[in-house]
Amino acid sequence: MIQPGANSLHVAIDGFLRSLKIERNCSDLTIKSYSEDLNSLLEYFGDYAGGIPGVDQIDVLALRGYVNYLHQCQYARSTMARRLACLRSLFRYCCREGLTASNPAKALRTPRAGRRLPHFLTTDQVVKLLEAPPANTAPGLRDRAILETLYSAGLRVAELAGLNVSDWDRDAGIVRVLGKGRKERVSPIGRFAARALDNWLAVRQADSTAPGTHQKALFLNKSGRRLTTRSVARMLEKYIAQTGLDQLTTPHTLRHSFATHLLDNGADLRSVQELLGHKSLTTTQIYTHVSTERLRQTYDQAHPHARRGAEPK
């Protein structure tokens, strides 16, 4: 987190980050992201704009200079949009706290960012991946349970890493998940994932000397402590190499595949939104574009008057 200093902008940023933690109950990862974005603003003022001004001295022209700097650095539009949203939140906080009279970031235009279609696997590719871990070793049983759970429940990797044994309700066939913004939701678990979890729990051994948060963890590393998100990513990289699947595949790809396969098989968008834990239906709608694109490709390949070269006479 940014250390507070004598300059009022530093103090404002530090107070803003504290408010995210205390008032909005944001996760450490979210606060880290905000902190990194605001460090970029401080670096711009300190290195390129003649020094860091007080928060009440920053106007829209100063922030437009920062936006121009981001353009010159050739940041992705998505990065720029996120940083501008961060600025708006910071200055809303400053207005509320009486540190400035108005929000100079309010007039900034957010660059339009074209949304990429999410990368997903076909059902055959998913099966190939899920069957890659060996079923006769404890690490293999754990890895199978991880992959099955990610795909069966459509979890974010941080949600999976945060699961405790008590979050898995075998009788109800659900896991209780702590999602973004520390919002809880219930995710169904299919029979394949349930069996994989049972097999893993039969051999799971926690480190009895570890803190309680590690001993409670559903998924453990080889030392018997809570598995990290980076460890999950490294584990997946190993099986991607073994199976020859697309190198673009990440733990989040299984979440994308979960949503895409549900919609392909008739699930309604609102239900998928609830299962994914999306706050806005707009976020979930990207998967309808995936399904529509696949439908178009199937049509182009199968319909004789859709094929290239089939010009009307």
**Token code pair at residue 84:** 């501008």
Annotated active-site residue in 156, 226, 256, 261: 156
Catalytically annotated residue among 83, 204, 255, 256: 255
Cα(first)–Cα(last) distance of the chain, in Å?
68
Catalytic residue flag (residue 185): no
158 C-beta neighbours (distance < 10 Å), count: 16
At 98, the amino acid letter reads G
Q: Catalytic site residue 69?
A: no
CB-based contact 177:185 (threshold 8 Å): yes
Of 143, 147, 145, which Cα lies nearest the Cα of 125? 147
d(CA 228, CA 247): 21
Q: Compute the C-alpha angle 110/116/118, nearest 5°.
A: 135
The answer to whether 198 and 189 are in contact (CB under 8 A) is no
Lookup: tokens for 197: 């979890």
Under 8 Å between Cβ of 105 and 88: yes
Kindly name the residue from 64, 92, 128, 252 that is annotated as catalytic.
Answer: 252
Name the strand (E) or helix (H) holding 21. Answer: helix 8-22
Clarify whether 252 is annotated catalytic.
yes
Catalytic residue among 93, 151, 239, 287: 287
10 is an active site residue:
no
Active site residue 278: yes
Catalytic annotation present for 180: yes
Q: Which of 21, 77, 128, 180 is catalytic?
A: 180
189: left (phi over 0), alpha (psi -120 to 50) or beta: beta
Residues forming beta bridges with residue 177, ordered by sequence position: 185
Mutual angle of helices 251-264 and 123-130, in 10-degree steps: 140
Residues serving a catalytic function are 156, 180, 252, 255, 278, 287
